[in-house]
Structure 1
Amino acid sequence: MAASLARLCARLGPREIRNQSSLMRSIHHVTRQDPFAQARIADIGDVRFSSLYDLERVSDDIAAHYRAIHQAGLLPLSAGGDHSVTYPILRGLAAEAPVGLIQIDAHTDTWDEFQGSKFHHGGPFRLACEAGLIDPTRTVQIGIRGAQNTAQGWDYSDATGMRVMFMEEVEALGIESVVAEARRVVGDGPVYLSFDIDSVDPAFAPGTGTPEVGGLTSLQALQLVRGFRGQPLIGADVVEVAPPFDPTGNTALLGATLMYELLCLLAEQRATA
């Protein structure tokens, strides 16, 4: 199971993504968008935990934080942390009705309990599906790859109707066709976009907990995110940046750049709403 082999330190990702975001500029070179001119944007800080070592309480704290954001009519763009954070984020944003999901990742993250806990980075989308937060028939998982000790995650995604696009299919189709297929799957309804940095090949993003060779290039990753322009997003995240495993800082820089791409999508959506 992927969770058993993960390297730690994703908790340091948000701080380093913030550091690297100082290199981001405002006007996009392709779309000529300036998200800071299109919407009011602010870093509202970190989620405060009431009991750091109680994973269920941590999940509740994150969910409550995002519920308040959602009720205030804001569109959240989040930096993880490992992928376990996306489940409580969805609890806060999608409690009224299930939403579509665009997941860009090396792993399906649909495994069951691990070491007696359901709160781990290998199972957020199984939890979200079982809680009725995401519609599995409107879920697409892009870039999946890497050997596993059990087929449990792949089998769960398949059995529930999620569209799994293994990296070989992504490479064969090309980014434009992958975007078209993902748009077909999620349709026109509300959708959440979650980007795990391990979807990118470790040649470009070595600083992550569960690196898998044979992934997206950094350019493909940016083009993929940009392809979802106009999709009705309720929020997005970039997760699993683990700075200690990349002394160059390039993984966090890519994470910050991806967040800028997502910010452009969300700001344009807010400006045209």
Structure 2
Amino acid sequence: MSPNNHGVIPPRGPEVTERTLTYAGLATFGRVPRLDEVGETDIAVVGVPFDSGVSYRPGARFGGNAIREASRQLRPYNPAQQVYPFHFAQVADAGDITANPHNLHEAVETIESAASELIDSGARLMTLGGDHTIALPLLRAVSRKHGPVALLHFDAHLDTWDTHFGEKYTHGTPFRRAVEEGILDTSALSHVGTRGPIYHQDDLDEDAKLGFGIVTSADVMRRGVDEVVQQLRERIGERPLYISVDIDVLDPSHAPGTGTPEAGGLTSRELLEIIRGLSACHLVSADLVEVAPAYDHAEITAVAASHTAYELVTIMSRQMGPARWSGQRGGS
């Protein structure tokens, strides 16, 4: 591959044509090259096969590879965002982070260290979980570079509880810990898609005290995607943004393969359209968690997750591409 006019080697994208057998070959995300094949990358897709922090159904440790398999159907051009995301910035599959399934605290430290190494290399992260416990170490790594970040959290649940059976690190507690550690910008925190019964009214009161605004799934239905997107964009502003997507934000009819399903969720179309509406935001990294393929033999959940990750990667690619093509890698 020859350099462009600025002396920069163009990104190596997936080798996908109309004659590609989508069901054959190695399953990297979207068929992008492995990190060891390109040496450095602007966007690293990395898996974290860890689900020791769940409180109900396990199985999210298999989510990353299920998403990779489903992503075989992704194609090089994104018509919704009008860009070739894999041509505009280098995207590479960085494999999986090995986190100790028998020691939560060690796992959190390992994830943070591995994520920091990728970020220090100049990459933004698209992380495939795994359960939502992994959001805390990922946010620690991102905030080390960008300072406290805005957070947009798509989920059926708040995930701001204090403990579960006395344990402070679980998939229901990451964002309370993140606020306590000062790694979130508390003027720009939003939940989207929350619904269902909770333990106490105090849960909502405490969540508000942490700084979160809430857009429920019913709000999206009643107000519509465009109005919700406008509200979120105003709240986020120009701050560095981290997006965390728990696939259970979707209704179980759209994502049955998850550990803690709740009725009345978003459609996959609503989720994708909200994310596309945030394309002008300064997205510095993202995660997608809680895909548990054992509960969905039709792979509906993994398909929705792969398209969601594709939209997030596209946003990051659009933002990083111009810097790369002007002769600088876009690692900011």
TM-score band, normalised by shorter chain: over 0.9
Q: 2:162 aligns with which of 94, 108, 112?
A: 112
Letter in 2 for 1:199: V
Cα deviation code 1:230-259 (max 9, x no counterpart): 211110111111101111011011101111
Aligned residue number for residue 70 of structure 1: 119
- Name the SS for the 2:191 alignment partner: strand
Q: Where do residues 1-273 of structure 1 align in structure 2 (5 Å cutoff)?
A: 6-49=56-99, 51-95=100-144, 97-273=147-323
Shift of 1:153: 3.6
Alignment check: 8 A CA contact 1:103 1:140 kept: yes
Q: Which has the higher helix share?
A: 1
Alignment check: 8 A CA contact 1:163 1:185 kept: no
Cα deviation code 1:21-77 (max 9, x no counterpart): 11111101223211111011100011123x431111100000011111121111110
Alignment check: 8 A CA contact 2:59 2:259 kept: yes
Alignment check: 8 A CA contact 1:137 1:160 kept: no
Q: Which has the higher contact order (CA 8 A, sep 6+)?
A: 1
Alignment check: 8 A CA contact 1:104 1:142 kept: yes
Shift of 1:5: 5.4
- Name the SS for the 1:251 alignment partner: helix
CA separation of 1:4 and 1:41: change in aligned 2, threshold 3 A: closer
Instruction: Calculate percent identity across the aligned residue pairs.
Output: 36
Distance 1:226 1:203 in 2: 22
- Name the SS for the 1:17 alignment partner: helix
Alignment root-mean-square deviation, CA: 1.4
CA separation of 1:70 and 1:153: change in aligned 2, threshold 3 A: farther
Alignment check: 8 A CA contact 2:63 2:292 kept: yes
Distance 2:54 2:272 in 1: 29
Give the TM-score normalised by the residue count of structure 2.
Answer: 0.78
Structure 2: runs of 5+ lacking an equivalent: 1-52, 324-332
Give the TM-score normalised by the residue count of structure 1.
Answer: 0.95
- Name the SS for the 2:96 alignment partner: coil
Alignment check: 8 A CA contact 1:137 1:163 kept: no
Distance 2:277 2:85 in 1: 17
